[in-house]
Structure 1
């Protein structure tokens, strides 16, 4: 969905799908899709010029006119090959129009579920950092005692655990709501925004607990700290998700009153 000029303002995307005999041709650019450099199948969101709706289109990797290039020099989530994508008259057959993504409402439902997944990624990162810190504080000694013996370190460890317990409960609640088809878009955004915010604080506390070792990859916490910055931003930034929640609870959009985003 994301393009070089449009991230949070995804409803203004420039990629278009023009109807031709047997299907559509896509023209435009995308930025950040994960692992698209080797993907066999891509789902590309484009504005259908016939209906002015945003639809999803199934594009086969290697299609004529499709060009992908890996984004270099990332400092976070380096295992994921995020890419820039160019589409120049890429033909998509009529059968490859995603029936699910047939308008703005379906797009938002898809984004809502992906935000729940991002929230759980954050929980996993935070739990991993907590476990690493708990071991480290018990093993490393300073002034003749384990680091776990110092009250300030104990308080940080307890704060991390409290954050994790709260994140777990909210994540579990979102999954229960989703499984019963009761989860709203605002609830998903609340989960993504708040959980990633708490996870970000949690991994920052972990980095502090490891001192200098918190910035090297050997102890994993430094890498988790960087990776958490990515999760905090993707699937909608904290600010955008917060405004979606506010829209749902007040009935007033602060971004664009008639927008689907």
Structure 2
């Protein structure tokens, strides 16, 4: 598939997010950042959006979009960073990149951030300087595609203590046994970043496992009612051998894994915010076009009240994630900060997509209006990267100094 990437005309007076970004957080972006995001929007509107309802209903990922999305050079755009080895793209740009993807589709955003957020963070935080030098350029240009494999069939929220995949050292290799579940994008990955408990010291270690290794079995999870386009896998590991050179040398306990989660939860908060924006925009579009009783649906008081609540939720969420991103840009990373953002934006997202479905009426359960897709996908976003309850307890622990987690 050949895709043109004509420059969109995004002038100083024209905003990308004028409808959903009521307090103009977009003004924090530079003109170059807005231009890159405009290219992304142009691609999503032209190439992706027409495919989404069909592929969502089929439960398949539109693989023809993958390489063109990669070719857009979004992770560290050369026109923002000055080229490889120069300054990194700013956090606020990265946040709005997730926002743009999510306001189009949650599966597309999850697919992209699996590489740009989860896997990249595993390498950035967990790899030694030598490993980073060898792997990070390949992560950024997608020539090394990977997924973050932490969750297990019997351990999600209690993964810190319940992680049961094992690693046993044998000379210059490790032998892994266990299972992972809900791993998005694993089927198309080159490597799986697998977290396992060292049988010798009981501590968590991390390994890059070749997806084609002997003893690795991947099964697509069927029957999902959310993120249907995202291909989640159940992974079985039976006597899988991994060289010591492929162990992430800076991961030596769950505390190191927690440092990754601390950084990654902000990405999910941006996704939850983008999903709200997409649902709100779709609902607003519908009620201004649909007529009942001889009037536009959007002219009725009860509909306008719901639109105002949706906009309030989007505005609150966007303000929260922007401020969190600004704090992280200063090097301030705290568990309770990212947990609060993920918890609150996901909670508001649930209400926003429900209100969007309400105002669209019976047509809100069809894929034609886009609202049903956002409404269903929100349930997955609400739960992954820490449930509402788990994130609330992280915040509560910070507030009181007392841990309410059960053991």
TM-score, structure 2 normalization = 0.62
Asked whether the equivalents of residues 34 and 83 of structure 1 are also in contact (C-alpha less than 8 Å), the reply is: yes
After superposition, residues 165-244 of structure 1 pair within 5 angstroms as: 165-244=315-394
- 2:127 corresponds to: none
Aligned partners of 1:201 and 1:253: how far apart in 2? 29
After superposition, residues 45-56 of structure 1 pair within 5 angstroms as: 45-56=195-206
Q: Higher strand fraction: Structure 1 or Structure 2?
A: 1
After superposition, residues 29-178 of structure 1 pair within 5 angstroms as: 29-178=179-328
Superposed CA offset, 1:196-215 (max 9, x none): 00011101100001000110
Asked whether the equivalents of residues 2 and 30 of structure 1 are also in contact (C-alpha less than 8 Å), the reply is: yes
SS in 2 for 1:4: coil
Question: Offset at 1:161?
Answer: 0.4
SS in 2 for 1:117: helix
Question: Offset at 1:183?
Answer: 2.3
- 2:157 corresponds to: 8
Aligned partners of 1:226 and 1:100: how far apart in 2? 38
Question: Offset at 1:176?
Answer: 1.1
Asked whether the equivalents of residues 174 and 183 of structure 1 are also in contact (C-alpha less than 8 Å), the reply is: no
Question: Offset at 1:224?
Answer: 0.6
**What do you get for the CA RMSD once the two structures are aligned?**
1.0
Asked whether the equivalents of residues 286 and 369 of structure 2 are also in contact (C-alpha less than 8 Å), the reply is: no
Q: Higher helix fraction: Structure 1 or Structure 2?
A: 2
Question: Offset at 1:39?
Answer: 1.3
Asked whether the equivalents of residues 69 and 84 of structure 1 are also in contact (C-alpha less than 8 Å), the reply is: yes
- 2:40 corresponds to: none
SS in 2 for 1:203: helix
Superposed CA offset, 1:155-181 (max 9, x none): 000000011111001001111111211
Aligned partners of 2:251 and 2:325: how far apart in 1? 22
Q: Which runs of 5+ in 1 are unaligned?
A: none
Question: Offset at 1:38?
Answer: 2.2
Aligned length: 257
Aligned partners of 1:138 and 1:21: how far apart in 2? 68
Question: Offset at 1:50?
Answer: 2.0
Aligned partners of 1:88 and 1:45: how far apart in 2? 14
Aligned partners of 1:98 and 1:247: how far apart in 2? 30
Asked whether the equivalents of residues 290 and 296 of structure 2 are also in contact (C-alpha less than 8 Å), the reply is: yes
Question: Offset at 1:124?
Answer: 0.8
